[in-house]
Structure 1
């Protein structure tokens, strides 16, 4: 089995953004040392608990401080960006770090509507960006290719390419948590990643649809897919659950419309009083996560891979920390990777 890592660069209540980034560098270096396949960073905006706002900037920072692990986006939220900007950023990353770059693309905004409008600028990108998503996807692929895109203008065809061109191209993946993304990835012959960590709903149906409808392409000859899952692993099941609690509570607050804060420390999360709806969301999140001792967690990962027919699982190590932890470290997250690697790699 291949194991990979998804990182949102979580910001704990005892951390600055710089501290959180330093902890993520150490996490990526651990994943590199332990033999994980890839390390992806997300794109979220205007969230105090998430420092991953610009995947290409973070990828460049991490690639310079790791040796061989693939680095990528999980993902770039394409409606927020001009296709040429994305193509140029990732072509440049590929040129600097050949055969190490993945470009994972998503359709969701990764933010609230006001932030999305601010990201897209006053020029007026709007909801049609969602409708035009398939075309934007084609544009990014073509712009990174050797032939570029031909733009019809009066009296000539203007060739537009992502420059400077890399000798190789980043591996492109389509990300999703709905049937829309499964249909689109299959139609375009793209590798597909299902965000099982986000909701845990519809995973089997989406992957089955992707496989049954897949059309081979120059990029991908056969269906290629894996899924993501939240994880916290420790020497005891009780400690693993305690380390995961702050993240579960944060997601419960997000889904019930509560103001967002930085990620709580374990002791602060344990002192929280949740209303019944939030408590139910915490329980549901725990049930669909990988959590427990090394042996139990490894069994959960294997069962997840067998259930959904994948040979790669991407874990999102969501363990928080206890009071007194060095702010520039995330020992629970690193330990999660170490314990899983010992059992599975």
Structure 2
């Protein structure tokens, strides 16, 4: 990527989508808006588009990444689509391997399987997800990651039965290509495991900015080259709301910041507020401080200022890609099946960071 002398190179941009649901929206509206955003990211040249996995949250419709990935793959042409991530403790490894092998057959060379170790929900929903018994429990996370890698490989995996017979298992026979597997995390656990297995790693900076330098150093220093990944590969996530003015960007970011403050103070969760509702409803002092702390860590502002912040983040941490979580909320009079604030964020950032 060429740049003028003295100008920091622009990182590649990607998107992490939680499929937000605002007040008055149905899940159908939210999904339609996210698929429109995926089409836009594809046209604008973004690197990848990932869907999160969260459960039983009124403001989030991203509960089934494979379904959303299949839908996004069907309406895009070149962008990589994947999970950010599949929360492996909720799923049997064979099911995950089969789902993503099928996705790779649908969109060869464009599928990313991001795996996380957290459940992505509260303890009650976690038990419901495992109603038929434990699937990929947290303690067996390393083994289940390696199981998935084997199951999706052309050679597949082998099981030795109690009879001594060797049983071959493949996620998809005669696979021509396999998804790229990433480990996701916000602590040193997944960073160390990714390094040990020679896998790419993503630090979840959008909800935990603590210890990023140390964790990335652990990953890079401990990385063991693998056939698929001879060198460490990593990027960071970042919440962003971009508009033509600072005031508008802040107003658009406010509903998401308020929702995260409610989560962290144990308040009841609701669908995402509109900008007008967020501006009209005061918070207590603790929640207000949490909101302000979050907004300072996000890229919230005009295109040039937000682009500069993203460049600084990429340069400081030595990454060539930043995955944006577009958190710009909607106004009351905007269409329910569209997401103008998030659309504007992607458009303005793509223009401001264009090489």
Q: Does 1:279 align with 2:282?
A: no
User: Partners of 1:115 and 1:105 in 2: how far apart?
Assistant: 19
Q: Does 1:69 align with 2:79?
A: yes
Which residue among 148, 169, 175 is the counterpart of 1:140?
A: 148
Query: How far 1:163 moved relative to its partner?
Result: 2.2
The answer to whether the Cα contact below 8 Å between 1:144 and 1:165 also exists between their aligned partners in 2 is no
Secondary structure of residue in 2 paired with 1:64? helix
Partner of residue 66, structure 2: 56
User: Partners of 1:269 and 1:165 in 2: how far apart?
Assistant: 53
Q: Deviations over 1:196-253 (max 9, x none)?
A: 0012111111111101111111221111000000000000000000000000000000
Give unmatched runs, 5+ long, in structure 1.
none
The answer to whether the Cα contact below 8 Å between 2:51 and 2:62 also exists between their aligned partners in 1 is yes
Q: Does 1:232 align with 2:238?
A: no
The within-5 A match list for 1:1-345 is 1-122=11-132, 124-125=133-134, 129-153=137-161, 154-345=163-354
Query: How far 1:165 moved relative to its partner?
Result: 4.6
User: Partners of 2:106 and 2:24 in 1: how far apart?
Assistant: 34
Query: How far 1:164 moved relative to its partner?
Result: 4.5
Report the TM-score, using the length of structure 2 for normalisation: 0.95
The answer to whether the Cα contact below 8 Å between 1:91 and 1:144 also exists between their aligned partners in 2 is yes
User: Partners of 2:292 and 2:204 in 1: how far apart?
Assistant: 19
Secondary structure of residue in 1 paired with 2:14? strand
Aligned CA-pair RMSD:
1.0
User: Partners of 1:250 and 1:162 in 2: how far apart?
Assistant: 39
Give unmatched runs, 5+ long, in structure 2.
1-10
Question: Which aligned runs of 4 or more in structure 1 are off by greater than 2 angstroms?
Answer: 163-166
User: Partners of 2:312 and 2:211 in 1: how far apart?
Assistant: 17
User: Partners of 1:155 and 1:180 in 2: how far apart?
Assistant: 35
Secondary structure of residue in 2 paired with 1:117? helix
The answer to whether the Cα contact below 8 Å between 1:11 and 1:49 also exists between their aligned partners in 2 is yes
Secondary structure of residue in 2 paired with 1:297? helix
Q: Deviations over 1:245-269 (max 9, x none)?
A: 0000000000111110000000101
Corresponding residue pairs, total = 343
